[in-house]
């Protein structure tokens, strides 16, 4: 979807100003926000793509007025309510009043280091050859899906060149909505700055994205 998170090329948000020596967390509650989100995800009722889609589905005014971890918590509330762990009334009251869904798994404190070390690999083997190879000219498809997608708006309908073939990975556009992993080949595609940003773009710059195969067509 064309959600509020898709800011590439959007004007009016000011310059990117990285914070020097930025800490991992700016407040103690942010540590808890990360921990609660990871523990809730470990229950096994949603995947990373559904979690991302919940964040980008927040109302733009809500999204832009929230800090990074506020967005995480607001999206987590959506997921917990969607999967029956809390109700809207319970969230408003701040206390439980009904029997929630039973978790498929419970993450114990002793298991956290191993879980974090293992991560959540999303690479998958494929039984079909890649459609494209390094050096091929391709065009990204120009579409505006209503569901989750990892193809940014600024890179749609653009001509680029395959720079690398990365292998097979879970397709987030279906995985976010419970329609299966449907792994596809993923490619790094490089675009000239002028192709992306048009007249006045810095000719010395290029832009690269990782794109799933169904985002691309031969140029």
CATH 3.40.50.2300 correct for 28-118? no
Query: How far is 210 from 64, CA to CA, in rounded Å?
Result: 25
* Largest distance between two CA atoms of the chain: 60
Phi, then psi, of 198 in degrees rounded to 5 = 80, -160
pLDDT in tens, 89-143: 999 999 999 999 999 999 999 999 999 999 999 999 999 999 999 999 999 999 9
Nearest by Cα to 37 from 69, 13, 82: 69
The average pLDDT across 51-73 equals 97
pLDDT in tens, 188-203: 999 999 999 999 999 9
Element at 187 (helix H, strand E): strand 184-192
pLDDT in tens, 2-61: 999 999 888 899 888 899 999 999 999 999 999 999 999 999 999 999 999 999 999 999
Q: What is the DSSP letter of 26?
A: S
Question: How many helices (H) does the chain have, and how many strands (E)?
Answer: 8, 5
Query: Does residue 168 register a pLDDT over 90?
Result: yes
The average pLDDT across 154-175 equals 98
pLDDT of residue 103: 97
Alpha-carbon distance values, 135 to 64, 117, 186 (Å): 39, 35, 15
Do residues 148 and 178 make contact, with C-beta atoms less than 8 angstroms apart? no
| Fold match between domain 28-118 and domain 137-218 | no
Phi, then psi, of 90 in degrees rounded to 5 = -65, -40
pLDDT of residue 62: 97
Cβ-based neighbour number of residue 97 at 10 Å? 9
pLDDT of residue 152: 96
pTM: 0.92
Nearest by Cα to 2 from 142, 145, 140: 145
CA 8 from chain centre, in angstroms, equals 14
Domain ranges of the chain: 28-118, 137-218
pLDDT of residue 5: 94
pLDDT of residue 16: 87
Nearest by Cα to 149 from 13, 53, 38: 53
Nearest 5°: CA angle at 118, between 117 and 120?
A: 125
pLDDT of residue 15: 87
Q: Architecture of 137-218 per CATH? A: Roll (2.30)
């Amino acid at each position: 979807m064309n959600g509020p998170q898709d800011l590439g090329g959007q004007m009016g948000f000011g310059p990117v100003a990285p914070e020097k020596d930025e800490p991992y967390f700016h407040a103690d509650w942010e540590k808890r926000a990360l921990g609660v989100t990871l523990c809730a995800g470990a229950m096994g009722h949603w995947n990373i793509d559904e979690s991302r889609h919940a964040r980008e589905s927040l109302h733009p005014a809500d999204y832009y007025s929230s800090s990074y971890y506020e967005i995480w918590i607001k999206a987590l509330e959506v997921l917990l309510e969607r999967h029956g762990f809390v109700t809207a009334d319970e969230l408003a009251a701040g206390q439980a009043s009904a029997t929630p869904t039973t978790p498929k798994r419970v993450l114990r404190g002793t298991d956290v280091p191993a879980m974090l070390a293992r991560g959540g690999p999303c690479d998958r083997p494929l039984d079909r050859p890649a459609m494209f190879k390094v050096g091929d000219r391709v065009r990204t498809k120009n579409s505006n899906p209503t569901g989750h997608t990892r193809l940014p708006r600024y890179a749609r309908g653009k001509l680029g060149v395959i720079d690398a073939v990365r292998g097979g990975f879970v397709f987030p556009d279906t995985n976010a909505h419970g329609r299966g992993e449907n792994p596809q080949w993923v490619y790094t595609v490089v675009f000239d700055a002028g192709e992306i940003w048009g007249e006045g773009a810095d000719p010395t710059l290029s832009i690269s994205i990782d794109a799933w195969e169904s985002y691309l067509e031969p140029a």
